Amino acid sequence: MTAPDDEGAGSGEGGEGGICAAEALPAGRLQVVAIGGSAGSIDALSVLLPALPATLRAAVVVVVHLPRERPSLLRNIFQPRCALPVREAQDKEPLEPGTIYFAPPDYHLLLDAGPALALSVDDPVHFSRPSIDVLFETAADACGDRLMAILLSGANADGAQGLAAVQAAGGVTMVQSPQSSPMPYMPEAALALAQPGHLLTPEGMAALLLRWHSWRLL
């Protein structure tokens, strides 16, 4: 399935936020949007999350590398800016459509069958807990081709293996362009491992999400 030539946002960069002639679309409606980022990713999230409309049907699950010793302020920061409800994820919580979930500090955030959220204190991955790889890999197992995974700016390789797992499961993959990333190491690590479906600026990502929502894919 391919978008109309005059509206597509493609996998490569070019034009406004990475626009090209056509884009590959998922086979059906996406159930979950999983987002991961580290250093420099809050700026991208500040573009993406407030752009999501209140009528979004997919759940949004976010891992950001955080200091372990302090409570997260992400829910307090983003709730006033977002049309969707924003929560800090709880263990064994069923995933609700049209809701944004942030991983709490010092816990891996996983997706189980259902899908439902789960928290883990297993060892850090890439020195990180929560780990983006853990979220992406478990989400790929739980959701398969009904998953979109978005990897943002960051300073280590966390998320690259997980993004490859999402791609292998038939999910949609999107990476922030290194040129638009304050810390490009994380996007570059993903690009070194596999070619994502979409390589975009945060503005290009937001435009794609809104367009897919209008086509009832999100």
Q: Which of 38, 131, 153, 181 is catalytic?
A: 38
How far, in Å, CA of 29 to CA of 98, rounded?
13
Q: Does the active-site annotation cover 158?
A: yes
Residues linked to residue 128 through DSSP beta bridges, in sequence order: 125
Q: How far is CA 31 from CA 26, 53, 198, 217, in A?
A: 11, 15, 18, 9
How far, in Å, CA of 165 to CA of 186, rounded?
16
Q: Does the active-site annotation cover 38?
A: yes
Q: Which of 41, 65, 177, 181 is catalytic?
A: 65
How far, in Å, CA of 218 to CA of 214, rounded?
8
Strand-by-strand arrangement of the 86-88 sheet: 86-88, 100-102, 59-64, 32-37, 147-151, 172-176, 198-200
Q: Which of 126, 133, 158, 180 is catalytic?
A: 158
Element (H, E) at 61: strand 59-64
Burial string for 14-40 (b: 16+ CB within 10 Å, else e) reads eeebbbeeebebbeeebbbbbbbbbbb
How far, in Å, CA of 102 to CA of 60, rounded?
9
Give the residue numbers marked as catalytic.
38, 65, 158
